[in-house]
Amino acid sequence: MRSPQNDDVIPVILGTELPWRQGATVGLAVQDQWDSQVTVPISVAEDGTSRMAAPLPAPVMVNGELAAHADLEWQVDVHWQPGHTVRRRGLDSRELFADQPPLMLTWARSSRYGVTYGSRRYDLVRGGARPENALARVALRHLSLAAWVRAKAAEHDLSALPSEAGRRASLLASMLGGRRRYIDLFGGPLLPALRAMLATSAKTKEAYPNGDGVSLSSTEGVLTFAGIYARVADMKLADVRELADAALRAGVLRRGMVLRCAACEQKQFQTVEKLSQRWSCVRCNALNDLDRHAWKLPADEPTWYYDLHPVGRHMLSEHGEVPALLSAYLRKQRKGQRGMFDDLEEVAILRGNQPQVEVDLVAYTDDVLTVAECKTPGELTGKKGRQEVLKKCRAAAWLRADRLLFATTAEEWTQATRVMVENAVASFSEWGPLGSPQVEFVARLGRADTET
Ligand SMILES: [Zn+2]
């Protein structure tokens, strides 16, 4: 197609090629009331869900000819600013009202740009009431991604909660001051240094042959700042220092010394908060002097070391950084595009007390809902692998996802795994009328050459 103004070719996108997988609808608008703005007080819950504290004004028709038809009904579109909630996907009407009354005034649905509701009250309207009083005055709510996932699960008699891993991630996020900062730390340049704090040997010489760290046990180690810097690629020292300082302020990294108790000989990490000329042993409580016997080397002054918070260690030991890397990757991929990005990691879906499936990451961006799974390619093979894929299909169907993504930090997904996953998705029988979501694979996560 060519535009009349110039010869630039305008791309034509067919409905089937659009990124969202929703049926098309046609709406007619009332011109006089196309763009009315109203101010309504709202309250915001801890999970980010906003709720109107007062109902919207009655949607009275200003056009005289239209208002004359007493039995006319219309639909009211409400756009929230800023719009972050998941749109459409047939969410239960009740979930969209601020307080869910036993008898609903009218219906509402999640629509292309916000919420759409019916103008007419369906509950009791007394005969002879003024026409305005026959119209619905509704207070709506705007669900956060977490609340939306819970609401969508509830439609299938399921509950959606943060899994154990999800609780660890949200604790770290709240220490750091938000999910974005959590992703920047555990999905960012400092990650190799944080990972190196999970020691590979109880022997310091084996775990840290360059002398920039100390093993406290076979699984825990601490690094010097030089040790952190050496593991970060392509960054200026001052910038690494800034990142480390931010993590220290949040308490996710801790600065301290590695000391040995003179009484019980326990090697231990003592944070700067607990250090003074006299320090007490974590194991036997003996008071020790901060002298050379305690730190041994170097002969002049003790060295500062950096320790990762135990919750951070637990998270890394269970590969919880992989969803963080995926989140960072998905966010980066859409850099420069307008619109929003929101995600939620480690969600457990249960029926009663019975766990059904755990989802590593749910991401919502530009009206595309992604259900993502982080795995090593070896975990997705054979019968067990297929069962695992079918579970993710179930979660994707419940949430009406547009994209099912499998991500790995490994070099690549084997052809056999790709075929197995695609066959499992194709054989799944519970997809809605719009069919299966798009299946994608991401490999080499966390590296400059991440591949989709
Ligand atoms: Zn001791």
Q: How confident is the model at residue 284 (pLDDT cuts 50, 70, 90)?
A: very high
Ligand 1 centre from 203 Cα, in Å? Answer: 20
Of 18 and 173, more confident: 173
How many angstroms separate the Cα of 293 from the Cα of each of 205, 259, 271, 302, 357? Answer: 20, 9, 18, 10, 53
Looking at 3.40.50.1370, 3.40.1350.10, 3.40.50.880, 1.10.357.10, the CATH number of the domain 319-442 comes to: 3.40.1350.10
Report pLDDT digits (tens) over 311-328. Answer: 999 999 988 889 999 998
Can you tell me the mean pLDDT for 406-414? 90
Of 333 and 419, more confident: 419
Ligand 1 centre from 57 Cα, in Å? Answer: 70
Of 13 and 76, more confident: 76
Ligand 1 centre from 266 Cα, in Å? Answer: 6
Ligand 1 centre from 386 Cα, in Å? Answer: 52
Q: How confident is the model at residue 72 (pLDDT cuts 50, 70, 90)?
A: confident
Ligand 1 centre from 283 Cα, in Å? Answer: 5
Can you tell me the mean pLDDT for 233-253? 94
Q: 59, 121 in Cβ contact below 8 A?
A: no
Amino acid 7: pLDDT:
55
Ligand 1 centre from 389 Cα, in Å? Answer: 50
Amino acid 217: pLDDT:
92
Ligand 1 centre from 286 Cα, in Å? Answer: 5
Main-chain phi, psi angles of 54, to 5 degrees: -145, 150
Report pLDDT digits (tens) over 123-140. Answer: 766 677 777 788 888 899
Ligand 1 centre from 267 Cα, in Å? Answer: 9
Ligand 1 centre from 194 Cα, in Å? Answer: 28
Q: For 12-21, 96-105, 380-389, which range has the lowest pLDDT when averaged over its residues? A: 12-21
Q: 324, 183 in Cβ contact below 8 A?
A: yes
Can you tell me the mean pLDDT for 42-52? 88
Cα–Cα distance for residue pair 104/414, rounded to 1 Å: 52
In 174-293, which ranges are E strands? Answer: 213-215, 221-223, 253-260, 267-271, 278-280, 287-289
Ligand 1 centre from 248 Cα, in Å? Answer: 27
Ligand 1 centre from 200 Cα, in Å? Answer: 25
Looking at the chain, the whole-number percentage of residues with pLDDT higher than 90 is: 49
Report pLDDT digits (tens) over 334-376. Answer: 776 666 788 899 999 999 999 999 999 999 987 889 999 998 7
Ligand 1 centre from 272 Cα, in Å? Answer: 18
Amino acid 83: pLDDT:
59
Ligand 1 centre from 268 Cα, in Å? Answer: 9
Cα–Cα distance for residue pair 156/143, rounded to 1 Å: 18
Which run of H or of E encompasses 77?
A: strand 75-78
Q: For 46-60, 72-86, 246-260, which range has the lowest pLDDT when averaged over its residues? A: 72-86
How many angstroms separate the Cα of 210 from the Cα of each of 246, 301, 371, 410? Answer: 26, 19, 41, 26
Ligand 1 centre from 260 Cα, in Å? Answer: 8
Amino acid 125: pLDDT:
67
Ligand 1 centre from 310 Cα, in Å? Answer: 21
Cα–Cα distance for residue pair 393/375, rounded to 1 Å: 15
Can you tell me the mean pLDDT for 182-208? 92
Cα–Cα distance for residue pair 193/189, rounded to 1 Å: 8
Q: How confident is the model at residue 61 (pLDDT cuts 50, 70, 90)?
A: confident
Ligand 1 centre from 274 Cα, in Å? Answer: 15
Query: For the chain, which residues make up each domain, given as ranges?
Result: 27-143, 166-315, 319-442
What's the angle, vertex CA 417, arms to CA 413 and CA 420, rounded to 5? 150
In 261-385, which ranges are E strands? Answer: 267-271, 278-280, 287-289, 305-308, 341-351, 354-365, 368-374
Of 188 and 448, more confident: 188
